[in-house]
Amino acid sequence: MTRGHLRWSEILEALEKGQRPPHIESCSPCRRRWEKAAEGLKGLAPETPEMDVRADLLMQRILLTTERRRPRRLPRVQVRWAAVIALGTLCVVGPLALWHALESNKERLYESLMTESWSPSMAGLGGLIPVGPVDPLEETMDSLDAILPWSSEALLEPLSLPSHEGEEMINGRKYHERRRNRA
């Protein structure tokens, strides 16, 4: 580009601002460039005379496509009734089934409660409740033996105090006796 002519950047900038540089009136190469650029940029605006018709057809297409993809829904009233019926059925049938189960197994249940001992699995306490008949005292002693460091038999023996403690007690008793006698 020779000096003095407009550069493409100047032409585009002027077109963007909507200006018409005075130079193009006197310079034919620059005017040709200017007209070319203006024509080309104007061509970016799409010519769609039938846009409304196209839009109508497009709308039908879109509505049809979305209608096919729309999830089929039950009317709200039906959904409500279905919920009421399901809940009602659950409330009536549940207790009835429980009552029926208890009623049919009544004998067995009673028998097991009254005659058989509770097993850990029945109690659900994992061994805290003993199985079978046991002597409560024996069981307590066994438990203590397991826990305490000394024998449980020692607990049952009469208390024997160390000798100096016994002397103190005896001396104390004697002192009190002497005081009482003096008084």
Q: Does 45 bind another protein (CB under 8 A)?
A: yes
CB of 62 to another protein, least distance (A): 5
Site string for another protein, 147-176 (x = CB under 8 A): ------------------------------
Q: Does 20 bind another protein (CB under 8 A)?
A: no
CB of 71 to another protein, least distance (A): 11
Nearest to 38 by CA among 10, 12, 59, 17: 12
Nearest to 155 by CA among 163, 147, 167, 166: 147
CA distance 59 to 51: 12
Write out the two tokens for 147: 């826990």
| Burial class of 25 by CB neighbour count within 10 A (0 to 12, 13 to 18, 19+) | exposed
Q: Does 136 bind another protein (CB under 8 A)?
A: no
What lies within 8 Å, CB to CB, of 14 at 6+ separation is 20, 21, 34
Stretch that binds another protein, among 11-19, 87-95, 120-128, 133-141 (CB under 8 A): 11-19
Q: Are 27 and 54 in contact (CB under 8 A)?
A: no
Q: Does 76 bind another protein (CB under 8 A)?
A: no
CA distance 139 to 130: 10
- Per CB under 8 A, the list member of 5, 20, 29, 65 interacting with another protein is 65
Q: Does 74 bind another protein (CB under 8 A)?
A: no
Q: Does 63 bind another protein (CB under 8 A)?
A: yes
Contacts with another protein by CB under 8 A lie at 1, 7-9, 11-13, 15-16, 35-37, 39-48, 51-52, 54-55, 58-59, 61-63, 65-66, 69
